[in-house]
Amino acid sequence: MAQTTGRVAQPDVEKVAILGSESIILGFHLTDYILRDVLTNIPASNYVLITDSNLAPIYLPTYEERFNAISSEIAAEKGQKEPRLFVRVLAPGETSKSRKTKDDIEDWLLSNAVTRDTCFLAMGGGVIGDLIGFVAATFMRGVPVVQIPTTLLAMVDSSIGGKTAIDTPAGKNLIGAFWQPKRIFMDLNFLRTLPEREFSNGMAEVIKTAAIWNESDFVKLENGVEAIRHAVLQGNASALAGATLDTRTEAQSLLLDVILASAKVKAYVVTHDEREGGLRGLLNFGHSIGHGIEAIVSPLMLHGECVSIGMVKEAELARNLGHLNQVAVGRLARCLSSYGLPISLEEKKVKDRIGDLHCHVDDIMDIMKVDKKNQGDKKRIVMLAAIGKTLEPRASVIADAAIHKVLAPEQLVLPVTEAANPPKKEVVLTTPGSKSISNRALLIAALGKGTTRLTNLLHSDDTQYMLAALQSLGAADFEWENNGETLVLHGRGGQLSVPDKEIYVGNAGTASRFLTSVLTLIASAPEGKKAVLTGNARMKQRPIAPLLTALKATGAIIESIEKEGFLPVAVTPNGGFKGGRIELAASISSQYVSSILLCAPYANEPVELVLTGGQVISQPYIDMTIAMMKDFGIDVERLPNNTYKVQKGVYQNPEAYAVESDASSATYPLAVAAITGRTCTVTNIGTKSLQGDATFAINVLRPMGCQVEQTETSTTVTGPPIGQLRPLPSVDMETMTDAFLTATVLAAVTSDPKGENITRITGIANQRVKECNRIAAMVHELTKMGVTASELPDGIQIHGKPIKDIKAPAEGIFCYDDHRVAMAFSVLATVVPKGTIIQEKKCVEKTWPNWWDDLEGKLGVRLSGVDQGARLSQAERKHLGKMRKSNSPKMDHTKSIVIIGMRGVGKTTLGQYAAETLGFKFVDVDHYFEKTLNTTIPEFINTWGWEQFRVKETEALQKILAKDSEYAREYVISCGGGIVETSESRAVLKEHVRQGGKVLHLVRDLDHVVKYLNKDTTRPMFGEDMMTIWKRRRTWYREVCNYEFVAYADSIVEDGWVTPTEWQAIKKDLQRFLLFITGRDTNHVDLTPGRVGVPTTFVSLTMKDLRTTVDKLREICEGADAVELRVDLLQQPEEDGKEVECQMYLEYIAEQVAILRRHVSLPIIFTVRSKGQAGAFADNDEQGMFDLLRWGQRWGCEYVDVEVCWSSAAIESLIRDKGNSLIISSWHDVPQQTPWGSKELEIKYQLADKYGDIIKLVGVATNLQHNIALEEFRETKKAGKHLIAINMGAAGQLSRVINECLTPITHPSLPAKAAPGQLSLAEINQARHLLGLLDAKKYWLIGTPIQHSMSPTIHNTGFDTLGLPHRYNLLECHMVEYAEETLKSPNFGGASVTIPHKIAVMKYLDDISESVKMIGAVNTVCVRYVDVNGKMERRLFGDNTDYLGIKRRVQPLMLDPSNPPEQGLVIGSGGTARAGLYALHQMGIKEIFLWNRTASKAHELKKAFASLCDITVIDSLEADIEPGVIVSTVPADSGIELPEHLYGGIKGIICDMAYKPRRTKLLQQAERKGWSCVEGIEVLIEQGLAQFEIWTGKRAPADKIEAEVLKRYEL
């Protein structure tokens, strides 16, 4: 990119005046311009250019070169001496803004005799600008400085105004000066290399300025999101585009425009108020609260991110105080959010950045106390009055209580009955507009003819996108009146044209469906021009196939650009919508139907729409569409059989159209009137409404005893005196299901002097699958308040209770992130004595963002803010606002492991096993609880209730984990399933993680758990079904755990138990997992260069779902050293056409990891490859990417691949918690712009080196030269970290052959290659052989007789499968001396040794293994090269794999290998018996018995093994022993059978080393007794595999070898 930094003699620039001079200059490609201007107009003998190391490699070379060229040109012209240029590159980041750096720069300049005749050039972000500005201010009492800001923040903020500063340990910016720069050059070209997060960071200030200053600037930002981001973030814009006006793209102009606007405002304010008066205070919008947050979360979050949240909070404060309307708050929040900024502390993105750091409202307020801008002890905050306008020309004084209330995350609702001044008896209000009606109204009016004024529109993402889309289609013109409350829309009667850019609808479902049909209305377009509709990554997964099919059938030309049947789609206009008969499958979404109906009047022929596919879903929405079309003058005729007919026509816009309120929302204020005995009128909903919930007042409130009056468009309710609502013994709410929550809370306070006082609501089964299981949620929360409620099959039943007896739970009502739960309980809270806390108050924003303001301001209910989260500790508070380093404690492997998870997943069984594996002890929190409280849990719950139980449970957990507790270390602690239900317990668990401990979430397929639990009645159950509980808890489990293990089972026996073999497999998986996370056996690939087994490789799995290819996994992985799970290539699961929620997606991937771990013992590389890096994951979803990667770590994947193109903050926070997972830091040069050896590539290397344990750089080769360049690069990095360096593309295959560290490979059985040019292991080995990188070795079988040996088959099959050029031959000899020459020959690779040379061969060997020493025989010889004083010496090494053959076959048959049978028996006394004895000992069998027909030989053997273990020789097989493992080594023709009683004790495992026939008589006998059998042939194969692995350093392709051997054997 360096070469593109401009040499344009005369670029077009914009100038801005500040403090009376036009010293701010903006443009593109200004390098030459800047240098010429500076050298001419700020003459000096010394120029000092300072920048940071992120910028230097990209920009410095050009700057230096141009400086020299221009300065000599000017010097020649003027006949003067050329000035000197001093260049210094600083480390990037805030730490450079220090006294030390300032000192260093000064000392360096002084030592170079730099004088007063000096000019500084500060090229960098705010850090460089602030620091160098300050250096310039004091150097020689002040010399000129020129600011060349390179970040957006520096351009629009820090470079303007002359504030300079450095940090000290006591705080940021504490030392500095005002020092105005001589010039400020904003070369927007710099922004192209700026990381995205830094760009967003700067946008916060840009949006801030527009918000306080100028609405039209703000509108540009709102509408220009895509263009502005594109202009900045598109990395490879053509060389000098934008320098002059004629080369400037529209997007570039817009970018310049918005930066210019922002800079102008700052310049104006500085000019008129240089040192902080009133005006400058306005720029502080968002900063008062923003700083409070920043002090707590810095450096995890950036300044702009905190200010963004601050702005939203300050705007909400203005709204709460009545200065600002919700429309403005919504616009501000949406605008910030669209530029990637966070708008709330509760946001997931924020949580992931700051972990469980809680910004307690009191802590924020404390920090705000010391804000310089406060007036005395009164806080000053900028009050927005509208977009582009502030309440006063300065910050306003605001009371603490108001700030506290807005900032607090929870709401305390106080009862009206306890108010000193009770609220007004009568209120009138308009509730928020309906989303469905808003969207329809916008579309119809835009297509309609004439001007209309739309009021009460819901302002949401959906409507915002709809408006923008209609505008870009040229459908209509818009303007806003009344501060955005009224939309004036001039419809053009259906005239549409193809927009210049794609239409983007985010994740707005309605907008996308409606607009798809609208695009087909465009009649014509210039040749080749198409209208494109697209959305965000989520949107692209939501199917619209039935709609596309129907439209295409009418002749529309629509293509799906990415995936068939999904967005994005491109429509080519061909004469407009044809119309006629259209068939549409309507069982999936009514939106398809509405979409076509809405457009139908504009078809060329009348439309007859026939709905097929049986059931029509959501008929009421179709009815709503038809009714609204009628409001605008178009009739839809209903014919039988779900058929609709629409004649041609044009919508006629009425003068005004009020969007009806959302009927469900309207139920809440009406219910407040009902429950408090007052009167409430909702003005925008009445009898005319088509929304089912509009009948709530008539059908529910009236029978409960309210007076109800309804006009066509309004509803008025008056409640009976408090406490006198009547129950509804049975009410069917099927037509208004969303309103059942409102009815439920009213039912809680009914009285019925005569009857049973029970309300039964039915017909609401669908409410189980809304934001949460609403029926269960209502039951649960009501129960907490002491109200009796229970679930009905399709409803809920509530017992009314006297209000005075209702008790709000201390911790408040939990809302399940469901707006309706929150609003319903706030209705109830208006009468509950002493006040009720509603947690997560934010969740109301989904449909009624200012609900709390309206509840307080309009309905007169008193509210107060509450924050039950943890405050900062004293120590933390002391360090607030000071320079902090973020560091998390090291993992402490001796700390106890806490196991959490649903009841029934096996926390106890697997927990005990985990303890055994790790040598820890085991404790169950429930047992501890029962022991210390001396009660049983059911008893406790019956006596004290659940709530009390949870309190005590938390206490128990806290005690167990306390520092001085005996359980704090080396325990496995199993918790009850509900431990995560309270925030207190969750806090305890999080603290454990923070202190370096482990919290392990154990998961099992829920279906299995449910089945299992149906059998288990030992514990009392909540009145909830398991699925609901799981759905509620799973986010909590996942929030508190730092590890998750999936106990994967693919077969289960009937009642939910898994089979014993499956349990065994689960335990094995768990063992591997535990050994990994505790660092005892990390299973990492040995990457030592030059070792046997190099090159190492990993196979990339490309399938969508491992479940479908389970039986192939082993084969696919043969010979590889690791296996890569390409998560981005996995199926995005969809359920019933609905996009599956994020939690289920996680569960799916977790299972894939578990399946892989089950079937393949290789380490797993967890990779999520983004599109820009040659994968399939979205390029703009950093959050989603790192969420997944974090899970990769939590699932114990041995490696996690991280692309270095993401923001450093994200990468660093991932690395902080990596545990034992190694990081592969990768970078792919997909656009082919960064050749090997270039400076840019070096930067990528450095970046990867900073983060990775292994570096992976991938280029693209289009010719051989590219590979040579790569090899030269590789050579220079020899001493560095392990490096994977390859080139993609067919021409790059050579690089894959040469790369020796973890080369990605494919396998013929995979559905696709993960990257172009990828080779299989066999191909790589063959190529390496041809290139002379891999010698062909000879391997031998030495012994006699060997003609019938299986060994050649074993090894040659293995060599062939892996593409190794080696051969295995027979060397039949009676005397071992004949083999000597072979052993010494240079192409000798290794040998198997058999009778009669197993002992004699030792004389040729340099070294032997431990097993050889014990067994006394060698069966394997291999060659090793050993470094002796820098020289590699060849050594022969003897090993014995016979015992391994036995061990590796017998051990997996044990139910629990870590708990082997007590006794074992070996029969025979030859060489094989020795291997048998050693194998038994190696498997951990304590009592080993030996029997031989000739007892003396047995006693000899006993003696030989004496140093290892004590063997008992038995004289007779009748001896009274109970062996669990028997190894027989006597020949098959002996026909031996064992006395029956030996099989009597336990079902054991028998291994017969004789292998002709396969099933010997002995094995047949044992099998009849139910024993597990190991055949001699199996052991033979297995010892061969072990041999193969010793020789090649690779895992043997076992399946293929076994198949070949058995084939030969059968012959």
Residue ranges binding ligand NAD (CB under 6 A): 52, 54-55, 92-94, 97, 124-128, 130, 150-151, 153-154, 157-158, 161, 163, 172-173, 190, 193-194, 198, 201
Bond prior to 299 in cis (omega within 30° of 0): yes
CB of 198 or CB of 1005, closer to ligand NAD:
198
Q: Which of 1011, 1256, 1397, 1481 is catalytic?
A: 1256
Q: Which residues pair with 1192 in a beta bridge?
A: none
Write out 520-581 in H/E/C secondary structure.
CCCCCCCCCCCEEEECCCCHHHCCCHHHHHHHHHCCCEEEECCCCCCCCEEEECCCCCCEEE
Task: Give the chain's count of helices (H) and strands (E).
Answer: 53, 63
Region of residue 600 (left: phi > 0; alpha: psi -120 to 50; beta: else)? alpha
DSSP assigned state of 175: E
Cβ pair 162, 16 in contact under 8 A:
no
Give the Cα separation of 590 and 518 in Å (integer): 16
Give the Cα separation of 1424 and 1432 in Å (integer): 9
Q: Is 276 a catalytic residue?
A: yes
Going from the C-alpha of 299 to that of each of 201, 342, 360, 887, the distances in angstroms are: 13, 15, 17, 11
**842-880: b or e for each residue (b if 16 or more CB lie within 10 Å)?**
bbbbebbbbbbbbbbbbbbbbbbbbbbbbebeeeeeeeb
CB of 124 or CB of 1259, closer to ligand NAD:
124
CB of 304 or CB of 1352, closer to ligand NAD:
304
CB of 200 or CB of 1102, closer to ligand NAD:
200
Give the Cα separation of 360 and 1043 in Å (integer): 27
CB of 1105 or CB of 1240, closer to ligand NAD:
1240
The angle subtended at Cα 1058 by Cα 1197 and Cα 1117, nearest 5°, is 35
Q: Which residues have a Cβ under 8 Å from the Cβ of 1180 and sit 6 or more positions away?
A: 196, 537
Measured from the CB of residue 1196, what is the shortest distance to ligand NAD in angstroms?
33
Q: H-helix or E-strand containing 1197?
A: none
What secondary structure does DSSP assign to 756-800, as a single string?
--EEEEES-GGGGGSSS-HHHHHHHHHHHTT--EEEETTEEEEE-
CB of 173 or CB of 886, closer to ligand NAD:
173
CB of 150 or CB of 452, closer to ligand NAD:
150
Measured from the CB of residue 270, what is the shortest distance to ligand NAD in angstroms?
10
CB of 165 or CB of 1376, closer to ligand NAD:
165
Bond prior to 1457 in cis (omega within 30° of 0): no
Cβ neighbours around 387 below 10 Å, total: 28
Measured from the CB of residue 202, what is the shortest distance to ligand NAD in angstroms?
7
CB of 157 or CB of 953, closer to ligand NAD:
157
Give the Cα separation of 134 and 99 in Å (integer): 10
Q: Which of 722, 1284, 1219 is nearest to 1000 (CA)?
A: 1219
Measured from the CB of residue 396, what is the shortest distance to ligand NAD in angstroms?
23
CB of 883 or CB of 1146, closer to ligand NAD:
883
Q: Is 291 a catalytic residue?
A: yes
Cβ pair 361, 409 in contact under 8 A:
yes
Structure tokens at 32: 């030459």
Cβ neighbours around 418 below 10 Å, total: 12
Measured from the CB of residue 1206, what is the shortest distance to ligand NAD in angstroms?
14
Which residue do the tokens 């190991």 mark? 1574
Give the Cα separation of 156 and 269 in Å (integer): 13
CB of 119 or CB of 153, closer to ligand NAD:
153
Give the Cα separation of 1469 and 1183 in Å (integer): 65
Q: Which residues have a Cβ under 8 Å from the Cβ of 836 and sit 6 or more positions away?
A: 412, 413, 808, 812, 813, 825, 826, 828, 829
Measured from the CB of residue 9, what is the shortest distance to ligand NAD in angstroms?
23
Q: Which of 291, 360, 435, 770 is catalytic?
A: 291
Give the Cα separation of 1451 and 1237 in Å (integer): 52
Measured from the CB of residue 151, what is the shortest distance to ligand NAD in angstroms?
3
Measured from the CB of residue 118, what is the shortest distance to ligand NAD in angstroms?
21
Give the Cα separation of 1420 and 1368 in Å (integer): 13
Measured from the CB of residue 173, what is the shortest distance to ligand NAD in angstroms?
6
Measured from the CB of residue 1231, what is the shortest distance to ligand NAD in angstroms?
17
Q: Is 1256 a catalytic residue?
A: yes
Q: Which of 119, 335, 680, 843 is catalytic?
A: 843
Measured from the CB of residue 263, what is the shortest distance to ligand NAD in angstroms?
13
Measured from the CB of residue 275, what is the shortest distance to ligand NAD in angstroms?
12
Q: H-helix or E-strand containing 403?
A: helix 400-407
Cβ pair 1391, 1342 in contact under 8 A:
yes
Measured from the CB of residue 60, what is the shortest distance to ligand NAD in angstroms?
12
Which residue do the tokens 């009669």 mark? 1396
CB of 373 or CB of 1034, closer to ligand NAD:
373
Q: Which of 276, 605, 1134, 1433 is catalytic?
A: 276
Cα-atom radius of gyration of the chain, to the nearest Å? 38
CB of 201 or CB of 1351, closer to ligand NAD:
201
Structure tokens at 919: 């040598």
Cβ neighbours around 649 below 10 Å, total: 16
Strand blocks (E) in 1029-1072: 1043-1047
Point out the residues that are catalytic: 276, 291, 843, 1228, 1256
